[in-house]
Amino acid sequence: MSSSVNLGLAEARRRLAARELSARELTLAHVEAMAEARQLNAFITETPELALEAATASDARLAKGEGGLLEGLPIAIKDLFCTRGVATTAGSHILDGFVPPYESTVTAKLWAAGAVPLGKTNLDEFAMGSSNMTSYHGPVRSPWTKASDNADLVPGGSSGGSAAAVAARIALAATGTDTGGSIRQPAAFCGITGIKPTYGRCSRFGVVAFASSLDQPGAFGRSVEDSALLLQAMAGYDPNDSTSADLAVPDWTASLKGKVKGLRIGVPKEYRVDAMPEEIEKLWQEGADWLRAEGAEIVEIALPHTKYALPTYYIIAPAEASSNLARYDGMRYGLRVEGETLADMYKKTRAAGFGAEVRRRVMIGTYVLSAGYYDAYYLKAQKVRRRIVEDFEQAFEKVDAILTPTAPSAAFRAGEKLDDPVAMYLNDVFTVPSSLAGLPAISVPAGLSAEGLPLGLQVIGKAWDEQTVLDVGLAIERAAGFEVMPYGLASG
Ligand code: GLN
């Protein structure tokens, strides 16, 4: 494996600018790494030709001293972003054969910034899941294994392919989307950094919709700086997305100092959930100690409606999903299974095209939106969501950021929890509340479990205050000094 795949996004950028490395060399190394790591199943579609073509064009621009923010840097794209001329599957059978005639705003921005497209990464079907086991294109394997055995572990989900690709040094960075934790949880499981910005910071235009009031694109990198750099290129107002915010994108990387002196960091007591492993509790404590040692003040806060966040999310997200997924009818694009009548064709197409988890969500969503149950479930959930938002508003009157674990455990075995959807949903217990409130949050690798697997800490910030989230994240990154590589790569 060429050593250039071990560079971070920001470091590779510096070397390209200094002409110590060409975009073509860097891209070739990643294309090779991608081919060598096929056993991970991290990609659904590889685009090596497009990558090399883009790299050549980048080299020409770099030679003239030109180039965008990500000029010549190979990255991967979650296969939920529509890419013109390149198949987009959302991890589902129902989008078979779909080649978008248009580009998502986020990916358009990335290509305009000079990024090099390695391919489209695997994901849970329609981004529903926490393990990347529900993809029609097969599960993604984590590049990590436990110290004690070689059993396959999940990379987390739903952006499991992106997280695995970045952890396995196949891509310098990757895009993800986060509806209830799909960037932060896989980042934690794979020992990398992942940031979900404030809802509305990145355009959802051209991102296959799961739950529109929650979905938000974000970035994976192997460091806080790398994630900030990628996010910088992704973010910004888009008139094509009515929920996109008309706000300037601050220069996060330029301001990134990791200084937390004088900041007040909240630790919510409600996140001490039952049966949380002691090592997670310990890591959380350690994280608070690191920040205190850097001059931050640790404040105990209350987020009293936290216990309702998961049930609320698992009403609202399926409700929106059932509505969003109504468009897949076999008529205009994707899979079609012929039937005797139009209704029969719809039924056959949807039955064949959607996997079990997607069907479960469509059914739950349809149920909670049905006339007889709308008030009892959907309307109630919206009211509770408001309470959760208010919890955060009150907390942020007292603190600048909130520190929690990212997930209640390290990565679990492939296949575990699959027959127990509730156990799977519980994985999102720490990520879902901030999603419901639309707040920015990052996961930073902070330590190892007793089994030798990465564990992440989460920093949640005020709306539009990605800067503080990144700075606190950087302080944790520095204190943790997490440099362990997935064991299969350690010799690389
Ligand atoms: N695991 C959560 C779910 O299954 C979150 C997924 C996501 O953020 N896309 O809904």
CA of 177 relative to ligand 1 center, distance in Å: 9
Q: Which residue has the higher pLDDT, 349 or 275?
A: 349
Question: Is the C-beta atom of 46 inside 6 A of ligand 1?
Answer: no
Distance CA 189, CA 156 (A): 6
Q: Which residues of 404-434 are buried (b: 16+ CB within 10 A; e: fewer)?
A: bbbbbbbbbebebbbeebeebbbbbbbbbbb
Question: Is the C-beta atom of 158 inside 6 A of ligand 1?
Answer: yes
Q: Could you tell me if residue 78 is inside a domain?
A: yes
SS3 content of the chain, % helix, strand, coil (to 5): 45, 15, 45
Q: Could you tell me if residue 55 is inside a domain?
A: yes
pLDDT, the chain, mean: 96
Tell me whether residue 182 is one of the annotated catalytic residues: yes
- Ligand 1, from 123, 158, 424: best to mutate by most atoms within 8 Å of Cβ? 158
Q: 392, 336, 409: which is closest to 131 by C-alpha? A: 409
Distance CA 235, CA 182 (A): 18
Residue 419 has what pLDDT?
85
For residue 128, give the ligand 1 atom closest to its CA.
4
Model confidence at 1: pLDDT above 80: no
Least confident piece of the model among 20-29, 51-60, 143-152? 143-152
Q: Could you tell me if residue 407 is inside a domain?
A: no
Cβ proximity of 103 and 128 under 8 Å: no
Question: Is the C-beta atom of 428 inside 6 A of ligand 1?
Answer: yes
- Ligand 1, from 79, 124, 128: best to mutate by most atoms within 8 Å of Cβ? 128
Residue 235 has what pLDDT?
98
Confidence category of residue 257, pLDDT binned at 50, 70, 90: very high
Question: Is the C-beta atom of 193 inside 6 A of ligand 1?
Answer: no
Q: Could you tell me if residue 273 is inside a domain?
A: no
User: Parallel, antiparallel, or unpaired for β 173-178 and 116-121?
Assistant: unpaired
Residue 492 has what pLDDT?
39
The H-assigned helical ranges of 146-200 are: 160-167, 184-190
The identity of residue 48, as a single letter, is P
Q: Could you tell me if residue 170 is inside a domain?
A: yes
- Residue 457's DSSP bridge partners are 405, 444
Which residues 6+ apart lie within 8 Å of 53 measured at CB? none
Confidence category of residue 275, pLDDT binned at 50, 70, 90: confident
Question: Is the C-beta atom of 74 inside 6 A of ligand 1?
Answer: no
- Catalytic hit among 142, 158, 203, 443: 158
Tell me whether residue 78 is one of the annotated catalytic residues: yes
For residue 178, give the ligand 1 atom closest to its CA.
8
- Ligand 1, from 79, 123, 182, 426: best to mutate by most atoms within 8 Å of Cβ? 182
Model confidence at 57: pLDDT above 50: yes
Question: Is the C-beta atom of 320 inside 6 A of ligand 1?
Answer: no
Cβ proximity of 107 and 77 under 8 Å: yes
Residue 491 has what pLDDT?
43
Residue 94 has what pLDDT?
98
CA of 181 relative to ligand 1 center, distance in Å: 6
Question: Is the C-beta atom of 181 inside 6 A of ligand 1?
Answer: yes
Residue 157, phi then psi, degrees to nearest 5: -155, 170
Confidence category of residue 146, pLDDT binned at 50, 70, 90: very high
Question: Is the C-beta atom of 130 inside 6 A of ligand 1?
Answer: yes
Instruction: Write 390-393 long-range contacts (CB < 8 A, 24+).
Output: 391/302, 391/303, 391/304, 391/305, 391/306, 391/433, 391/437, 392/303, 392/433, 392/434, 392/437, 392/439, 392/460
Residue 147 has what pLDDT?
87
Which residues 6+ apart lie within 8 Å of 195 measured at CB? 183, 218, 219, 227, 228, 231, 440, 441, 442, 443, 466, 469, 470, 473
Percent of the residues in the chain that have a pLDDT greater than 70, as a whole number? 99
- Catalytic hit among 130, 182, 203, 434: 182
Residue 423 has what pLDDT?
81
Distance CA 256, CA 242 (A): 30
CA of 160 relative to ligand 1 center, distance in Å: 11
User: pTM of the entire structure?
Assistant: 0.97
Q: Could you tell me if residue 24 is inside a domain?
A: yes
Model confidence at 488: pLDDT above 70: no
CA of 430 relative to ligand 1 center, distance in Å: 12
pLDDT tens profile 18-32: 999 999 999 999 999
Residue range of the domain that includes 178: 3-257+464-480
Average pLDDT over residues 269-273: 91
Q: How many domains does the chain have?
A: 1
Question: Is the C-beta atom of 317 inside 6 A of ligand 1?
Answer: yes
Residue 378 has what pLDDT?
96
Model confidence at 5: pLDDT above 70: yes
Residue 92 has what pLDDT?
98
Residue 351 has what pLDDT?
97
pLDDT tens profile 416-450: 888 888 888 888 999 999 999 999 999 999 999 99
Q: Could you tell me if residue 334 is inside a domain?
A: no
Question: Is the C-beta atom of 178 inside 6 A of ligand 1?
Answer: yes
User: Would you say the C-alpha torsion 459, 461, 467, 472 has a positive or negative sign?
Assistant: negative
- Residue indicated by tokens 């790398």: 226
DSSP state of 375: I
- Residue 117's DSSP bridge partners are 75
C-alpha dist (Å) from residue 192 to 50, 63, 101, 183: 26, 32, 33, 10
Q: Could you tell me if residue 343 is inside a domain?
A: no
Interaxial angle between packed helices 466-480 and 224-234, expressed in degrees from 0 to 180 and rounded to the nearest 10: 160
pLDDT tens profile 322-364: 999 999 999 999 999 999 999 999 999 999 999 999 999 999 9
- Residue 306's DSSP bridge partners are none
Confidence category of residue 80, pLDDT binned at 50, 70, 90: very high
CA of 129 relative to ligand 1 center, distance in Å: 5
The CATH code of the domain that includes 23 is: 3.90.1300.10
The identity of residue 84, as a single letter, is R
For residue 435, give the ligand 1 atom closest to its CA.
8
